[in-house]
Amino acid sequence: MKTFQTFDIESEFKTLHNRFPNHRKMPVIGITGNFSEGNLSLAPGYYTSILKAGGLPLIIPPCENNDILINSLEQVDGILLTGGADVNPLFFGEEPVRELHGINPYRDRQEWMLTRLAVNRQVPILGICRGMQMLNLALGGSLYQDIYSQRSETTLKHSQDMDRAFASHHIQITPDSLLARILNTTRIPVNSFHHQAVKEAAPGLQVSAVAPDGVIEAIESTEYKSILGVQWHPECFILNQDEYMMPLFHWLIQEATSFRSAKELHRKILTLDTHCDTPMFFDQQINFASRDSKIKVDLHKMTEGRQDATIMVAYLEQKERTDEALLAATAKADRILNEIEKMVAMNCTAVDIAYTPSDLYRLKQAGKKAIMLGIENGYAIGKDLSNVARFRKRGVVYMTLCHNGNNDICGSARYNDAQTGVTAFGEEVIREMNRTGMMVDLSHAGERSFYETLEISRQPVVCSHSSARAICDHPRNLTDEQLRAIARQGGVVQVCLYSGFLRSDRPATICDAIDHLHHMVNLIGIEHVGIGSDFDGDGGIIGCNDSSEMINFTRRLLHERYSEEEIQMIWGGNFLRVMEEVQRAAR
């Protein structure tokens, strides 16, 4: 062992710098610190467990400044919510019971805000004891102020007197839960130091372990998110050289590493969602600059999910085809496009309209979000062919030929008993779209319309939001032969995140969307696939329900071992290749 006298600091310094260029990047774990008697403190078990698991601990002190909280989250790859004093019952709408213990007034607001912000940003979270309780409260769950006085059932002693490095009772873990997979067991002894506990799990969370008396001992995400809370103190065991709780910390480091990789990838690549219907909510006084609960795509959610761009469409419900109705449809399309442009102008420091692929990359370089314009339903042009050029001139990059129901252009995948295909006028429309550089979008088109369009179009076509019928038999989805046909022409199909197009037997999850993507990749190749969420048009699935959760899709793609280049192609690269080809042909 080296003494101070024999410690060669220059040699150690040189060795350090020899290793520096190739040092291993460790995920940064933000750990909430405890504040009492004028001092910030952290029990050694927390940072020792993180270090031993391969993470870099960063203490987050109690702080009332929201900007500091947000900036703290930008620096970390995971969060460890630590134990400590009771949570103030005023934070969950109750008055204090007599049995309430000491409250730390410095921690509650900060940790509630930190947790909500972290969840919005998909940051992996492990909550321990009070940290689990705060996690549950922040997401809308309930809490016992005191299990001994507020529960009618016989209650075990949950605050042991023995050394913290030893267990005092067993817990039963739900089979097939995340916790069971992490600890590789369904029954395990734990230590116990609490009298508050989770009463009911918050929405999006489920109970995954209970004590013999029924007190909840663990909660975890039901939405394929990296969120886990445990009531005991697993960090104490390592101080006695007992590693049987280390899998919990290895899980946090693993999830944080995945999240870090996804963040780094999103910094380098452009992420484009090719279809959203947010303008459908314009009549509800939405605020695109806020985190608006009425919509799934806004500036906050795009920032949280690290999404660079989306194609917002002017959606038109298929109605009558009288001259008066057609004129009204055209006017409505113009009005919606005007409203999109107005919304962007009101937030011009953060977002701008993009008209070409190069615009998208320029805006990303400038740190801005981008919106492209689309039209959903060729009903918008009425019977006036000149509207194609006019809409293209104002920036519309694609138009679906129809929606649910036949129009004057073609027959739809829905409500088309006569199996109508492309009309004579529709053939003119497709050729005019080719001429002006507007992409032909075959989402919603019937099979006859689909194949006839491929024969007519001189340019590759796209399906901005369609999935695979071989996996989910829905008329809006594409058969394997349709997928092959669009790929042969050089086109692209974007997996739609609408639950009904992914599963027919239960609500769809992010794993189901990955299954559709896998099927398409295996069938037609990575060069012909992408993602079109259909957010705000009924799109949104468990695990990827709005723009803030888009990074979860990237994490899944990394888990499935898609390469950086392949993920870039999926996240808009393929779609933009077709857009560039279509626009170039019109120049």
- How many other CB atoms sit within 10 Å of the CB of residue 38? 5
Q: Please give the Cα distance from 474 to 417 (Å, whole number).
A: 15
Taking CA 487 as the corner, what is the angle to CA 485 and CA 488, rounded to the nearest 5 degrees?
A: 65
Q: Look up residue 302 and give its two tokens.
A: 């795009």
Q: Which two tokens stand for residue 226?
A: 């990296």
Partnered with residue 309 across adjacent β-strands are: 272, 370
Burial bucket for residue 301 (CB in 10 Å: 0-12, 13-18, 19+): buried
In the block, tokens 């104002």 appear at 394
Question: b vs e for 468-503, b when ≥16 Cβ sit within 10 Å of the residue's Cβ?
Answer: bbebbebebbbeeebbebbbebebbbbbbbbbbbbb
Interior CA angle at 279 toward 276 and 282, to 5°?
150
Write phi, then psi, for 312 (nearest 5 degrees).
Answer: -90, 130
Q: Identify whether 235 is a catalytic site residue.
A: yes
CA–CA gap between residue 205 and residue 139 (Å, rounded): 9
What torsion do the CA atoms of 199, 200, 206, 207 make, to the nearest 10 degrees? Answer: 30
Separate counts of helices (H) and strands (E) for the chain: 20, 22
Indicate which residue of 111, 220, 235, 549 is catalytic.
Answer: 235
How many CB atoms within 10 Å of residue 117?
A: 18
Catalytic residue among 158, 169, 194, 233: 233
Select which of 129, 276, 402, 544 is catalytic.
129
> Which amino acid, one-letter code, is at 343?
M
Report how far residue 140's alpha carbon sits from residue 188's, in angstroms, rounded to the nearest whole number: 28
d(CA 115, CA 204): 14
Give the CA count within 13 Å in the CB-facing half-sphere of 153. Answer: 11
Residue owning tokens 């817990």: 171
Burial of 304 by CB count in 10 Å (0-12 exposed, 13-18 middle, 19+ buried)?
A: buried
Q: Describe the crossing of helices 108-120 and 66-75 by its angle, rounded to 10 degrees.
A: 50
Asked if residues 99 and 89 have their Cβ atoms less than 8 Å apart, the reply is: no
Alpha carbon distance 496, 282 (integer Å): 22
> Active-site residue numbers?
129, 233, 235
